Structures are given as C-alpha cells and as structure tokens.
Structure 1
C-alpha cells in the first residue's frame, strides 16, 4: 500500500472511529476497519486489559474470539506478550514457531492461521489491550505491514481511550444526576436537610449491599425510600 492511499484510508478511519457512540461500537469498527490496511488479513481480534485479567470482547469470528482469549488462560501467545512484554510481536509461521506451542497448534488446527502480528494498544498513561491481525498465509506480513500496523494501533488506542473515558464520564454524570434527584425527593418527603438525606441513602445502600446509584434510581421511580411508607428507612 503506497503512502498516499494509506494516508487517505487512515484519515477516513480516524473519523469513522471518532463517530462511534460507545466502546462496544468502537471495538467492532476497529475489527472491521483493520483488514483494509493489510494485503493479507483473514482475521482480527481486539483484546482488552480489565483490572487483573485480559479478555477478547470482539473478533472477526466467535472461534477466533475463543482461541484469542485462550492465550490468557494458557499464559502464552503473541497477544499476551504484546501486552505484557513487547509492543509488537510478529509471527511468520505458527506451525513451526516454538514460542507458544499449545496455543500455536490450536490456531493452526482451528482456523488454519499461520501468521500474525499483535500490536499493543497504549497511550501515554495506560495500556488498553492489543490489536491482533491474523493471516492464513505463512510469512504474510512485510516490514511495511508492521510500520502501518503500529500507526493503526496508535490510532485505535487513542480512539478507544477517548470512547472509554467518554463513556465513564457520561456514566458518572448520570449517576450524579440520579443521586441528586433522589436526595431532593428524600429531603422533601421526610423533611431532611441535604446532608442527612444523602447519609440516609448511603446507610440503606450499605445495609442492603446495593450500589448507591441503584438505590437512588429506585427512590426516583417510587418517590420514597425502599421499605418505607412514611418513616425514614422504615424506622
């Protein structure tokens, strides 16, 4: 792929990813767009780091998703290494590569995959996961594929980070709004000041092992504290 074509496709991909409404749609578009940048690309998977585990939420096929995710149970595989050790991991032929024998055999037998490149998805402050590109052709990826893939991975990492951060911000703002509405209802219903009303909800949340947001949503829906007709918290 020449530089002009690559630049044009990259610009379109950036705008496309930026237009996605949430992380699941962003991940799906990453899988759909990535093959456009490689001459030989049969499958794509995206892996995410979530707290103390790694999973593959989206891939070209369910079988690939399952095999991709099996790396983390086995503790071996190019995606696992891209996230934990190297930023880019290249495999010319899984049939003879001895770095990950169990996983490599499963990929060859299950999907006839022979070559792969795994790119770490990272921004300045965080590692989000890995973009995994697979081909059924041995030695499918040239140096240009590696360089282009690193650019694609950087773009995907930024888009994914923005999407996740926007989603978290929207969720936080929604939670704050619901809790504020519930606090106002409790204040009016039970004649409490703001601090006391909030503390009552927080106490009920703890006593019933419920998230404060979920309890607040119930208060907004029912216009009263759970389990209470007139008294505060049923007391």
Structure 2
C-alpha cells in the first residue's frame, strides 16, 4: 500500500473513531482496522483503568481475552509492558521469546506465535493502554509495521480518551438526575428541604458504605432506602 493510501486510511479511521458513541465501540473499530491493515489474526485493546488496573476490551477472539488475562495474572507480557511503559513491544516468534519467561510459553500453548503491542497515550501523555495484535504463526514484523501502528494508535488513544471523558460526563449527569429524584421522594414523604433530603442520602451512604448514586437509585426504584424494608 502506498504512503498516500495509508494516510487516507488513517484519516478515514480518525473520523470514524471520533464519531463512535463509546470507548468500547472506538476500541472495536481500532482492532478491526489494525487486524486488517497489518494482517493480524487476533487483536484487542488493553485499557488502563483507575488504580492502574488493566482491562481488555474489544477482543476479536476469546484467545485474546485469555492471553491478556494471563499477562495480568503473571504480571508480564507485551501488552502489559506496552501499557505500563508506553512503548512498542514486538515478538516475531514467541517460541524464542525470553523477555516474558512465564507468559510466552503459555501464549504458544494458546496458539499465539507472533505479537505486536503498540502503546496508547493521551494528549497529555497519560497512559490510556495498548493495542494488541497476535499471529497464529511466527510473523516478521517490520519497522514500517511498527511505525504505521504507532500512527493510528495516536489517533486511537485520543479518540478513546475523548469517549471515556464523555462517558464520565454522562455518568455524572445520570447520577445527578437520580440523586435529584431521590431528594424529591424524601422531600415529599417527610416534608424535608432539598438540603435536608441530600443530607439524609449522604449520611445513609456513609453509614452503610454504599455509593451515593446506588442509594439514590435504590430509593427511586423501590421507594425505600436499601435495607430499610419499607415501601410506599
């Protein structure tokens, strides 16, 4: 494929990614594009969640989910290291791999013999995760392949980060709406002010170690606070 054709494909991908409604949908598009362009048999995305926890999304095959779960379990592997150190890790022949002595043999048992992990970094350098590609047979991965993967993972990281931000905002708005509804129920039932109703929810959340949003959701759905056994 010519450089111009590759550039056009990446530009088209970038438009599609930013139009995707969720971060998972974005990841699915990235995986499908990467597998097609680089001829990988399997692909997935590892996202860095709160507290540094790694989560696999958009696996193209159950083998990907299993391989990534093993990386988390064993604390080693190309996707694990790519997400951790924000670098690309390549293995053309997994049977000869020595960097991950516990994971590599398990990967071979799963039928993975080639791997490319390209990091996903946000606009401010924040660790977003890693794009993970696997081959069933040993596969010669060129410097051009790595460079090409790096180009579209830059677009992917920004799109995924943007989608995550939007999801967070939607979650926050939904939570505010639920809390407002729960306040209204308490105000009507007990003649409380809005501030007093919020204090009731907040104290219940703290005393019972239940998230405020969950307390509000339970009250809205059942007209009772969790565990109080009363329904209107």
Same fold (TM over 0.5): yes
Q: Are the aligned partners of 2:86 and 2:120 in contact in 1 as well (CA < 8 Å)? A: no
The match for 1:119 is 118
Provide the secondary structure at the position in 1 that maps to 2:96: coil
The equivalent residue for 1:42 is 41
Q: Which residue of 2 aligns with 1:67?
A: 67
Residue segments in structure 2 that go unaligned for 5+ positions in a row = none
- Give the number of equivalent residue pairs: 228
- Rounded to whole Å, the distance in 2 between the matches of 1:97 and 1:196 is 63
Matched, 1:130 2:130: yes
2:55 counterpart SS class? strand
- Residues of 1 paired with 2:57 and 2:138: CA distance? 26
Task: Please say if 1:178 is aligned against 2:168.
Answer: no
Conserved 8 A contact 1:189-1:224: no
**Could you tell me how far apart the structure 1 residues matched to 2:77 and 2:231 are?**
58
Instruction: Report the secondary structure of 1:48's partner residue.
Output: strand
Listed one character per residue, the Cα deviations across residues 160-195 of structure 1 (whole Å, up to 9, x for unaligned) are 111111111100011011112222332233222222
User: 5+ unaligned residues in a row in structure 1: which ranges?
Assistant: 231-235
* TM-score normalized with structure 2 length: 0.87
| Equivalent-residue separation in structure 2 for 1:114 and 1:229 (angstroms) | 59
TM-score, length of structure 1 as denominator length = 0.86
Q: Does 1:104 align with 2:104?
A: yes
Q: CA deviation at 1:217?
A: 2.6
RMSD: 2.2
The CA deviation at 1:30 is 2.1
| SS in structure 1 of the partner of residue 97 of structure 2 | coil
